[in-house]
Amino acid sequence: MTRTLSFLPQSLLSSAGAVLLVLGGVWMIQAASGQEMAVSLEMAREQGRAKSRFLKDTPEIAHASDVIPKANVAVFQKSVGPLLKKSCVGCHGPEKAKGRLRIDQLNPDLLHGPDAERWREVFNALSKSEMPPEDEPDYALAAADRGSMVDWLSAELNAASVVLRSSQEHSSFRRLTNYEYNYALQDILGLPFPLVDKLPPETTSADGFNNSSELLRMSAMQFDTYRELGLKALKRATVSGARPPAITYIISMQEEMDKAAAKEAKEELEKAKAAKRPDRKRNPQRSKNQPQLVQRATGERIDFAEGEELPRDGAVVGKTPPLSPVVLELPRGRELKLDLDRFLPDEGTLRVRIRAGRSSMNPDEYASLRLIFSAHTSNNANFSQVVSAHDIPVTAPADKPQLIEFDIPLGDIQRNPFRHLATTFPRRNEFLHIQNVSNAGGGEEALRVVMDHIEISAPFYEQWPPQTHAAIFFASKNKGDEQAYGREVLTRFLKRVWRRPVTAGEVDPFMALFAKYRPGFPTFEEAMVEVLATALSTPEFLYLTQRVANAKTKSPAQISALELASRLSVFLWSSIPDDELLQLADQGKLRESKVLTAQVKRMLADPRAQRFSQNFVEQWLGLERMSSVTHVTDNALKAAMQEEPRAFFVEVLEKNRSIMDFIHSDYAVVNERLANHYRIPKVYGPQFRKVSVTPTTNRGGLLTSAVIMTMNSDGKDSHPLKRGVWMMKRILDDPPPPPPPNVPQVDLTNPEILKMTMKERIADHRNKPACNSCHSKIDPWGIAFENYDALGAYRTRIKDQPVDATSELFNHQTLDGVDGLKRYLLTDRQDQFARAMVHKLTTYALGRPLTFSDSADLDRLTAQLRRSGDGLGDLIQLIVRSDLFNSR
Amino acid sequence: MNSKSHPLNRRTFLRGSGVALALPWLETFAAGSRAKDATPKRFLSVYHPDGVGLPLKSDPAWKDWSWFPRGGEKDFELTKVLDVLQPLRSDITIYSGLSHPAARNVHGHSNADQYLTGAPVGGSGPYQNTISLDQVYAEHAGDFTRHSSLVMSTNGGVGGPRGAQTQSFNREGRPIPAMNKPKQIFDLLFVTSGKDAAAMLARSKSALDLLIASTRSLGRQLSKHDQQTLSQYLDAVRDTELKLEKAQKWLTTPVPQVDTRNLHLDAEPKEARLYFQTMYELIYLAFLSDSTRVATFQLGRENGEGPHDLLSLAVGLGGAHGLTHAVKNPGGWQNLGTYNRYQAEEFGRFAQKLKDTPEPNGSGSMLDNTLAMHGSASSSFHLSRNYPIITAGGKNLGFTNGRYLKFGTGNEDNQAGAGIVSDAGWTGKMEVEELPLAKLFVTILQRLGVESDEFSGQTGTLTRV
């Protein structure tokens, strides 16, 4: 393939040499001098951008609220029709009707005729140069003719979509998804732990999203579960009576050392007796690879990995005792196992407070603490479970240790069900393990975690009554008057739950309910909690509402400012709006341009925005599939794989980088475990960070991330078909049709087929007539990834043969491996990807399937995005101020 | 074996079971039944831990004390372990070659948990179970009766992960606590308390009224399209209302009257025979009164000291679990076989009783409309393969009995894993082919009227059953 650099802008040419030297590459270009020069992916991106049709000076794309447009049938009759007849009807007409398409029968009035969807397919095939086929010279289409057809179709399709939009209703009115419901409950009640694991799983839409209005159904079972969970959450947030006494364990390293020393001395003595040898001195040689207690002053060591603990009466948590003369050293991967017997309460927060530091401060080494809870009730009846939500890094030096605190919900974790038995079998004990998760090297001086003080206490409360309780049952001068105070409590709670101000009339039925409940309960609070639980089952909490002034009005119409606040918070926080958003909405300021921009920025900077990146990325890329993958046996690798796309997305979002970075970037976002997998050197620690990559790393962008390659494999090897379908669905937004019935299976009992490489097998299948039309579109995208194995590791050989990752697209474009694929996307498919990204993000933001009638809005958004420079942060700002986001 | 262990004729069991049955009383029961128009379809699963005796052919004990029958589908011959079922031969089916694939290489002690669920609960680490067979059926049939299911075990409660003391797990895979005290079970079935329940129902009713009003008021402010969506919510509330009304009805419906004079409601496992028979009697009464159509009963826990271990006292033997470890001691196979024989005998007594009771609301006997399953998740020592399973009854549900059904290939004489007393069995490679037990579960569900073609990831039924 030969191209010249003549079409490149001058500014690029001047810097091209330097870039090329650094980056290398595979696409060689004949330069004027006659020497071969490679064009970098960065340059391909520049070239591709220059081709965008969205950047051309086209008239402003039709606006939904503009005058209803008319069909331009005249142009069809004059030029488009004859061109179709000449180049298309031969195969898509009365004689052949390939792909069941009869172009001659399509109604040229896209606005009022029934064929707009089919015309969009024609438009897609023409604009991607997939049609007419290159090997049919009789039907060849001149570039100018193709251009005029594409222009006409594009204008008509947009107009048609505007017409459709104004005549057809589609709605974002939906219930909250399970995860949104959970976050909303947590945010309303201030509960730190997830509450919802009982709701039936959500259905995934054809687009891959779980928040699609058409699929979020409600059933009696779902409703029942809401009632149960709401009450359970409220009971967890509120308390009654006096502060329950805490069970507290304090592990004293000095005492443990005394005990361990006495035990060891006794064992030594017995050993010596048994061996009938005179008492000998203990062997001072101990491997520092074991957890050990160390006497700071003398350096004396003794192995200590398991402690038996009992609660201490009257012990107080949260004190800071002086540094202990004895410390526990925990090497990498080791744990301290504490037998807590059977005294932990059934419910409440378990606070584990550890004072710890590092034995050495090499910045390339990290250490962190993890908690595991277990029981061993009889032989072969045991369990263990990581109970800490995250590993907490130990960063302080041992001589100036830090305090590390874990909070564990005792009612939610797997407990030992036999702990209340009166008899001693099955065993009643429960164990807490404190584990050092680290990348420390080996050897005597390897980094260890040094702990000198451990407290374990439950139920733990920062204050009494706890903040979650005080937020519902707040201080008030009316507290003595159940009627007046009840109304205050309800008014505040309903406002939060319904995300809007409430009237006295709306509170009345809840007060009536309270009046009915009150006699059945000993305290005001307990009766009120039951009433509040009912509020958490109201449709206004469970659904994202959009009111109309008059039920007969047709859309589009603008949603209210308060509804916008909810839509924003569900989009960016997967939850309800906070007071600031509600207040701005209530004051009518939220739609002011500057205010809205600032609010979106604030929301994205809030920790709750992690839910957005988590949920959107998972659904966009279909990462759920990873949960059924069984061939990744290294849990740390699996976790890192799953985290990478989200971390990458956050990097692009926070820096407002171009969405084209998803196709390719000169950086990767990795942690140590993943960097090892990618063979990127010198990345230490579990946190994800941006690191530069070169072409020899064979990474950059999202397409080759290990998780994508792994979940689109068959567990043993790559799976080009899955990868191809994934590309088309997730990246190009051009999903292939489902396979037709009666497709012949690949016959793996055929020895001829068994001999073939994966690529040959696929080619064999593709050459069957029933399969060809689809597979010729799917397979090439997947074959380009053949350099990546079932775990996404880069390879140049498969078994004994060199990898052949070249493929040819339907339009005869050759893709030379992933580099070629990226190059092609960046050079020729930027508009398609940009529109796909807009489509995906808008679908998620609206929580409803997008239809043809939304096309004009999506095109306008895409044009705005491309003109503003493709920044992901800009795209979010554009979406929230779009007509789509602001209308019902 | 003394003569007392051969009691399967009607007169002896009436005397032995501790309950006096009289016809008028039967009719009272029938009148208390809810769904009079439909004959109830019932399901019972009894689980016993520790498996059964599987001596090698070369062992002298093989002839008498190997659990599985010998011979073909119809002409099979029962060994001494199951010969107590000979009188019921035409009402039972015995299966071999079935197991849950995920458990085949997991230590048998961990596997009571997955007998009715087929979940890959594994042997260590985090634990997740799935819904059990009985609860799938309870979701289907539970609305017809006062209690959707009756969950019982000798040890009670839920037990621990991989040490279940219940056979029943809900939709989320959480264990449903089993009841183990006859008195408590009897009170649940036949004594109303219901005061708290009534108050709770009344509260729910008021809450639903509020929610309906609130939904209507919201609906008026929505577009036609959105009103459609909201109507699902309203339907859900109305369905819940109906459910409450039903619960309300049960509260006001008098519980069946049962004469307790001959029931030994204080029996404890150490009074093995009495306890065992009382528990079976309670299941019988629950079925007879149509208080429930679904029951599970677990005889103790895997690998445990504990109440169930005492059941072997009934046949004069020490700890039941120990019997499986001592098969190579003198008389070892016979002792284990004798205990298994006793389990079969009590199961047979129960089945016989159902057989002798005409269906109160339908044709045939109660047994014809009941599928009672008896089995374990181990066969040989710690080995979760080739589960020893018996079903009784179900003629009217479509089960053809009087058969010994062998599934899988390569183990026609049940010698795979036979005679082992070490963990080499369960850690070893599977040399024979077995079929997924879940396929039998699919068959059972379909015969019970549940439209389902899948259980625990297995699609399709078991042929020949």
- 3-class state of residue A52 by DSSP: coil
Domain that holds residue B160: 3-187+262-459
**B110 contacts chain A (CB < 8 A):** yes
Q: In chain A, how many domains are there? A: 4
Could B229 and A171 be called an inter-chain contact, meaning their C-beta atoms sit closer than 8 Å?
yes
Is residue A26 located within the same domain as residue A97?
Answer: no
CA-nearest residue of chain B to A170? B225
**A630 contacts chain B (CB < 8 A):** no
pLDDT for residue A771: 66
Distance in Å, alpha carbon of B463 to nearest chain A alpha carbon? 26
Domain that holds residue A821: 613-828
**A382 contacts chain B (CB < 8 A):** yes
**A627 contacts chain B (CB < 8 A):** no
Report chain B residues whose CB lies below 8 A from the CB of A218: 232-233, 235-236
Token pair listed for A542: 């469970």
pLDDT digits (tens, 9 = 90+) for A234-253: 999 999 889 999 999 999 99
> DSSP secondary structure string, A195-224?
----SPPPPPPTTS-S--TTT----HHHHH
The answer to whether residue B286 is domain-embedded is yes
Q: HSE (CB half, 13 Å, CA atoms) of A584? A: 20
Is residue B56 located within the same domain as residue B163?
Answer: yes
Is residue B176 located within the same domain as residue B228?
Answer: no
Is residue A16 located within the same domain as residue A115?
Answer: no
The residue whose two tokens read 């709701």 is: A199
Euclidean distance between the first and final Cα of chain A, in Å? 50
Of A792, A812, A828, at which residue does a domain stop? A828
The answer to whether residue A523 is domain-embedded is no
The answer to whether residue A19 is domain-embedded is yes
The answer to whether residue A536 is domain-embedded is no
Is residue B337 located within the same domain as residue B443?
Answer: yes
The residue whose two tokens read 């459709």 is: A164
The answer to whether residue B465 is domain-embedded is no
Is residue A136 located within the same domain as residue A42?
Answer: no
Report chain A residues whose CB lies below 8 A from the CB of B302: 380-381
Q: Max CA-CA distance within chain B?
A: 83
The answer to whether residue A877 is domain-embedded is no
Among B194, B189, B188, B193, CA closest to B248: B194
Report chain B residues whose CB lies below 8 A from the CB of A537: 207, 211
Is residue B137 located within the same domain as residue B219?
Answer: no
Distances (CA, A) of B138 to B81, B135, B353, B449: 32, 5, 23, 11
Would you tell me which residues 470-529 of chain A have a C-beta closer than 8 angstroms to some C-beta of chain B? Answer: 509-510, 512-513, 516-517, 520
Q: How many CB atoms lie within 10 A of CB B378?
A: 32
Of B253, B279, B299, at which residue does a domain stop? B253
- DSSP conformational letter for A53: G
Of A167, A195, A212, at which residue does a domain stop? A167
Report chain A residues whose CB lies below 8 A from the CB of B125: 383-385
The answer to whether residue A219 is domain-embedded is no
Report chain B residues whose CB lies below 8 A from the CB of A380: 107-110, 123, 162-163, 302-303
CA-nearest residue of chain B to A428? B160
Distances (CA, A) of B396 to B74, B141, B399, B451: 20, 17, 7, 18
Could A548 and B222 be called an inter-chain contact, meaning their C-beta atoms sit closer than 8 Å?
yes
CATH of the domain at B309: 3.40.720
CATH of the domain at A435: 2.60.120
Is residue B67 located within the same domain as residue B206?
Answer: no
Could A220 and B236 be called an inter-chain contact, meaning their C-beta atoms sit closer than 8 Å?
yes
The answer to whether residue A161 is domain-embedded is yes
CA gap B120, B125 in Å, rounded: 12
Of B253, B282, B301, at which residue does a domain stop? B253
Is residue B84 located within the same domain as residue B204?
Answer: no
Is residue B249 located within the same domain as residue B274?
Answer: no
Q: What is the CA radius of gyration of chain A?
A: 33
* Phi, psi (deg, nearest 5) at residue B294: -135, 130
Is residue B83 located within the same domain as residue B117?
Answer: yes
**B394 contacts chain A (CB < 8 A):** no
Interacting residues of A167 by C-beta distance below 8 A, sequence separation 6+: none
Is residue B293 located within the same domain as residue B222?
Answer: no
Is residue B65 located within the same domain as residue B103?
Answer: yes
Is residue A136 located within the same domain as residue A270?
Answer: no
Q: Is A757 left (phi over 0), alpha (psi -120 to 50) or beta?
A: beta
Report chain A residues whose CB lies below 8 A from the CB of B310: none
pTM: 0.81
Give strand pairing partners of A378.
Answer: A381
SS3 per residue for chain B = CCHHHCCCCHHHHHHHHCCCCCHHHHHHHHHHCCCCCCCCCEEEEEECCCCCCCCCCCCCCHHHHCCCCECCCCCCECCCCCHHHHHHHHHEEEEECEECHHHCCCCHHHCHHHCCCCCCCCCCCCCCCCCCHHHHHHHHHHHHCCCCCEEEECCCECEECCEECCCCECCCCCECCEECCHHHHHHHHHCCCCHHHHHHHHHHHHHHHHHHHHHHHHHCCCCHHHHHHHHHHHHHHHHHHHHHHHHHHHHHCCCCCCCCCCCCCCCCCCCHHHHHHHHHHHHHHHHHCCCCCEEEEECCCCCCCCHHHHHHHHHCCCCHHHHHHCCCCCCHHHHHHHHHHHHHHHHHHHHHHHHHCECCCCCCECHHHEEEEEECCCCCCCCCCCCCEEEEECHHHCCCCCEEEECCECCCCCCCCCCCCCCHHHHCCCCCECEEHHHHHHHHHHHCCCCCCEECCEECCCCCC
pLDDT digits (tens, 9 = 90+) for A171-207: 889 999 999 999 999 999 999 998 877 777 788 887 8
Give strand pairing partners of A453.
Answer: A252, A355
Could B302 and A175 be called an inter-chain contact, meaning their C-beta atoms sit closer than 8 Å?
no
pLDDT above 90 for A549: no
The answer to whether residue A720 is domain-embedded is yes
Is residue A444 located within the same domain as residue A330?
Answer: yes
Report chain A residues whose CB lies below 8 A from the CB of B159: 381, 417-418, 426
**CB-based contact A161:A853 (threshold 8 Å):** yes
- DSSP conformational letter for A685: S
Distances (CA, A) of B445 to A48, A458, B5, B95, B397: 60, 45, 34, 17, 10
Q: Which of B130, B229, B242 to mutate to test the interface with A (most CBs of A within 10 A)?
A: B229
List per-residue pLDDT tens for chain B, 465 residues long: 343 333 333 333 333 333 333 333 333 333 334 444 479 999 999 999 989 999 999 999 999 999 999 999 999 999 999 999 999 999 999 999 999 999 999 999 899 999 999 999 998 888 999 999 999 999 999 888 989 999 999 988 888 899 899 999 998 888 999 999 999 899 888 886 667 788 888 999 999 999 999 999 999 999 888 998 999 999 999 988 888 888 888 888 888 888 888 899 999 888 889 999 999 999 999 999 999 999 999 988 887 666 667 788 888 888 888 888 888 889 999 999 999 999 999 999 999 999 999 998 889 999 999 999 999 999 988 899 999 999 999 999 999 999 999 999 999 999 999 988 888 888 889 999 999 999 999 999 999 999 999 999 999 999 998
**B107 contacts chain A (CB < 8 A):** yes
What is the band of A72 on the pLDDT scale with cuts at 50, 70, 90?
A: confident
The answer to whether residue B383 is domain-embedded is yes
Q: In chain B, how many domains are there? A: 2
The answer to whether residue B464 is domain-embedded is no
Is residue B226 located within the same domain as residue B311?
Answer: no
**B322 contacts chain A (CB < 8 A):** no
Of A828, A850, A880, at which residue does a domain stop? A828
Angle between helices B133-141 and B437-447 (to 10 degrees): 10
**B159 contacts chain A (CB < 8 A):** yes
The answer to whether residue A875 is domain-embedded is no
CA-nearest residue of chain A to B203? A517
Interacting residues of B309 by C-beta distance below 8 A, sequence separation 6+: B300, B319, B320, B321, B322
Is residue A36 located within the same domain as residue A113?
Answer: no
Is residue B208 located within the same domain as residue B249?
Answer: yes
